[in-house]
Amino acid sequence: MAHFDEKAKPFSHKWLNERMAVDTVKKVLSTEYWIPKDINFLWAMGMILAATFGILIISGIFLLMYYQPDVKTAFDSVNYTIMSEVGYGWLWRHIHGVAASVVFLVIYIHMFTGIYYGSYKRGREMIWLSGMLLFVLFSAEAFSGYMLPWGQMSYWAGMVITNLFEGFSPTIAGGVANFPGFVEWLRGDYVPGQAFLTRFFMLHVFLLPLAIIAVIVLHFATLRLPHVNNQKGKEIDFEEAAKQYKHGNKKESKVIPFNPVFLSKDVFVMGVYFILFFYLVFFHFEFAMDPVNFDPADGLKTPAHIYPEWYFLWSYEILRPFNKDLGLIAFGFAQVAFFLLPFLDKSPVVAPANKRGLFKVWFWVMIVDMIVLTVMGKLPPEGIWTIIGLVAALVFITLFAVLPFITKKEKKA
């Protein structure tokens, strides 16, 4: 049994230390959590995401106090009660809406930073997989939240996306992948209605945030042993470097402590980010609040153009150019493709993409293709746009198919 000093004052440092090892915890998680020194501002995206998630939770709590998950009152509780009657309700809503959109921009930057620097392999596979799991959960969170104002786009996006769960046509493989009744079970009705809205409300404010918090903890935990990658992908002897740092050889040491050195840079980058973020909140929020969703849901009136928010457009465009069954396969592929990255990349080299021969080409073609898919996903599927979209979708699939072959050939640098 451990030794407890009877004279220690309750909640004093010593008292807490004996009970919770606060000194050790602080060292492990902060002052002696070593981060490579050779990094750039892209390494701050993780903390920016954490901060944005915090903003989403806080603004969400305020919105939750007035939102009414009822098909008759949901629209007005958002657009009238919160926007006109509640003091600063409009501010919380704009913060919530803009943050929900911007968080995806930062997620994509975070993700492609990881891909560019090869931060998903050689011990960092679990970081990547837990991160991708977060991406899926954030997507579900964004989608369920989009249902809540119960506008035209909420309703019709809800209709289109839940329709996907019908599965393949009954004629394919004797109908084993056709799920009659499943869509109705998901919706709780034949069309999106009260049951649909209430369950998405539950998912959005309870189950999904809970799951996200749990996976964020997992994501942090997966980082602790393999450590954060660095700009050159160099393997660092963290123990040796930490020793150097602690002895005062800060110049020679390749690492810095998370707190306060790494954090000071993070906070600076966060400041720059918040300037942009609040500029968007006050002066340029339209991109995050689609005009179509300011028309109340109407099951009898299909909008002229149905499209998801910008961050889903690339995968929507992978679904759209094909017929129903092929589209579903392609869409399913798009959802899991990035998960497979650590296993499709056969090269042991951890280095920036620009130093990796063919992978450099692969990376930049992927970036361009993602942007093309995103733009085509929004454009009406007519004429030349359909063809460009189809080509971009095929390029996406091809890129993942050839990745093992081009990385296998890569010589160890």
Partner 1 sequence: MKEFKILAVVVILSLITYWGVEPFAHSQMHKHVVGNEFNYDGKADIADATKEKLASKKAFWGEVNQIAKLPGNAAAGEALFATCMGCHNGAGINMGGVVPPNLDHAGNLYDKKYLIALIKDPAMASNVDHKYASTMMHPMGAVQAMVTAPQQIADVVAYVKTKKVGKLTPKVAYEEACGRCHSNRYGGLTQLGETPKFKTEKEALAHQMKVLDEQDLVKKYMGKLPPDLSIMIRARSEQYMETFIENPQTQLPGTSMPRVGLSKEGYEAVKAYLEETGDPSKDARHAIGPWVILFFVIFTVLAYFWKKHHWKDLH
User: Exposed, middle or buried by CB within 10 Å (0-12, 13-18, 19+), for 127?
Assistant: buried
Cβ neighbours around 138 below 10 Å, total: 21
Q: Smallest gap, in angstroms, from Cβ of residue 11 to partner 1? A: 29
Of the candidate residues 305, 324, 355, 408, the single one contacting partner 1 (CB under 8 A): 305
- Comparing CB distances to partner 1, the nearer of 113 and 198 is 113
| 11 binds partner 1 per the rule CB under 8 A | no
Residue type, 148: L
- Comparing CB distances to partner 1, the nearer of 214 and 275 is 275
State which of positions 85-104 bind partner 1 (CB under 8 A): 90-91, 94
Q: Smallest gap, in angstroms, from Cβ of residue 265 to partner 1? A: 5
Phi first, then psi, for residue 285 (nearest 5°) are -90, -10
Q: Smallest gap, in angstroms, from Cβ of residue 146 to partner 1? A: 16
What's the Rg (C-alpha) of the chain?
Answer: 24
Of the candidate residues 49, 256, 328, 393, the single one contacting partner 1 (CB under 8 A): 256
| 195 binds partner 1 per the rule CB under 8 A | no
Site map for partner 1, 108-137, x if CB under 8 A? -x----------------------------
Reading phi first (left if > 0) and then psi (alpha if -120 to 50, else beta), residue 264 is in alpha
| 58 binds partner 1 per the rule CB under 8 A | no
Q: Smallest gap, in angstroms, from Cβ of residue 47 to partner 1? A: 12
d(CA 400, CA 125): 17
d(CA 364, CA 241): 34
| 37 binds partner 1 per the rule CB under 8 A | yes
Reading phi first (left if > 0) and then psi (alpha if -120 to 50, else beta), residue 5 is in beta
Q: Smallest gap, in angstroms, from Cβ of residue 223 to partner 1? A: 21
| 275 binds partner 1 per the rule CB under 8 A | yes
Of the candidate residues 164, 292, 391, 394, the single one contacting partner 1 (CB under 8 A): 292
Q: CB under 8 A: which stretch of 21-29, 82-90, 133-141, 184-192 binds partner 1?
A: 82-90
| 283 binds partner 1 per the rule CB under 8 A | yes
| 379 binds partner 1 per the rule CB under 8 A | yes
Q: CB under 8 A: which stretch of 117-125, 137-145, 284-292, 341-349 binds partner 1?
A: 284-292
- Comparing CB distances to partner 1, the nearer of 305 and 409 is 305
| 265 binds partner 1 per the rule CB under 8 A | yes
Return the ∠ at Cα 16 (arms to 10 and 22), rounded to 5°. Answer: 160
Cβ neighbours around 228 below 10 Å, total: 20
d(CA 38, CA 256): 9
d(CA 255, CA 34): 6
d(CA 395, CA 366): 8
Q: Which two tokens stand for residue 182?
A: 């499943």
> CB–CB of 126/221 below 8 Å?
no
Q: Smallest gap, in angstroms, from Cβ of residue 26 to partner 1? A: 17
| 282 binds partner 1 per the rule CB under 8 A | yes
Long-range pairs of 156-159 with CB within 8 A, sequence gap ≥ 24: 156/302, 156/303, 156/306, 157/306, 157/308, 158/192, 158/196, 158/200, 159/191, 159/192
Cβ neighbours around 283 below 10 Å, total: 8
Instruction: Give, in order, the Cα–Cα distances in Å from 164 to each of 95, 195, 337.
Output: 31, 19, 18
Size of the site for partner 1 (CB under 8 A): 51
State which of positions 235-254 bind partner 1 (CB under 8 A): 250-251
Give me the residue label for tokens 């000194």: 23
Q: Smallest gap, in angstroms, from Cβ of residue 166 to partner 1? A: 27
| 380 binds partner 1 per the rule CB under 8 A | yes
State which of positions 309-348 bind partner 1 (CB under 8 A): 310, 313
Q: Smallest gap, in angstroms, from Cβ of residue 274 to partner 1? A: 4
Of the candidate residues 76, 125, 325, 410, the single one contacting partner 1 (CB under 8 A): 76
Residue type, 97: G
| Footprint of partner 1 (CB under 8 A) | 37, 40-42, 76, 79-80, 83-84, 90-91, 94, 105, 109, 250-251, 256, 260-261, 264-265, 267-268, 270-272, 274-275, 278-279, 281-283, 287, 289, 291-292, 294-295, 304-305, 310, 313, 367, 371, 374-375, 378-380, 385
